[in-house]
Structure 1
Amino acid sequence: MSILSNFIPTPEPMKPQSRVQDLKSRLDWGEPALTIIDVRSLEAFNACHILGAIGIPMDRLVERVPETLEPARDIYVYGETDEETAQAAAKLREAGYLRIAELIGGVAAWRAVGYPVEAISAIVT
């Protein structure tokens, strides 16, 4: 029996500041125990966001997250800028969420490497 047969592959652990490749690797691994939060405006979220992200604008973040997520959940957060992302992460940490990763570059970095995005189109009547 080889040493390799005893090795069970696992995804990289979450980092406080993560590159889009880190998040994509976890998603490709099929790890369901994470949430992606987009704190940009709802208009920006609807126009284009990371596939699977939920939109919670910055001004409603602390009030909406407890309704949605468990404190022990891994959360990847991104905003319009890295500064906005850091601000959102700080708010979440202050609210008791300790497993927070700031997604460096946000949706722009995600799109730049060709990862999937989605949009919500408005129905005009």
Structure 2
Amino acid sequence: MTNLLLGNFTPQTDAHDLKSRLQWGQPAFTIVDVRTRQSYNQGHISGAIPLPVDELVKRATTTLAKERDIYIYGDSDEQSASAAKTLRDAGFSRVSELTGGFSAWKAAGGSTEEV
């Protein structure tokens, strides 16, 4: 079992771990895509919500509980890390960066959608 299945929540998450959590049907988490709307529309993780970086804190604060498990990904690990730090600084305590982002998710065989 992975760390996520055992209940440990880490600042970075591997695509395979997140995929396992989805497959096990674990509740109470949100996947956030911080890329541009255009990138999101071209393809994103199934079920991910678009919260572009420039709207991130404002929209997250009004739509997500601060203690909710949040997995965040962007165009790069640097963008994901920056967005995760922004959320943590805004009081969100359980934020994890999806290492490798959308491309790592696709490589792991994760489910995707296009708008």
Percent identity reads 50
- TM-fit CA distance, 1:14: 2.2
- TM-fit CA distance, 1:104: 0.2
- The 1-side partners of 2:11 and 2:84 are apart by 9
- The 2-side partners of 1:80 and 1:92 are apart by 17
- The 1-side partners of 2:108 and 2:23 are apart by 15
Please name the residue that 1:45 is paired with.
Answer: 40
Considering Cα pairs closer than 8 Å and 6+ residues apart, tell me whether 1 or 2 has the greater RCO. 2
- TM-fit CA distance, 1:112: 1.2
- The 2-side partners of 1:54 and 1:26 are apart by 17
Please name the residue that 2:86 is paired with.
Answer: 91
- TM-fit CA distance, 1:85: 0.2
- The 1-side partners of 2:36 and 2:93 are apart by 24
Q: Which residue identity lines up with residue 32 of structure 2 in the other structure?
A: I
Larger radius of gyration between Structure 1 and Structure 2: 1
Say how many residue pairs are matched. 111
Q: Which residue identity lines up with residue 53 of structure 2 in the other structure?
A: M
Please name the residue that 1:14 is paired with.
Answer: 9
Please name the residue that 1:123 is paired with.
Answer: none
State the Cα RMSD in Å: 1.1
TM-score of the two chains, using structure 2 as the length reference: 0.93
- TM-fit CA distance, 1:93: 0.3
Pairwise mapping of residues 1-125 of structure 1 onto structure 2 (< 5 A)? 11-12=5-6, 13-120=8-115
Where has structure 1 moved over 3 Å in runs of 4 or more?
A: none
Unaligned residue ranges in structure 2 (runs of 5+): none
Is the partner of 1:83 in helix, strand or coil?
helix
TM-score of the two chains, using structure 1 as the length reference: 0.86
- TM-fit CA distance, 1:105: 0.5
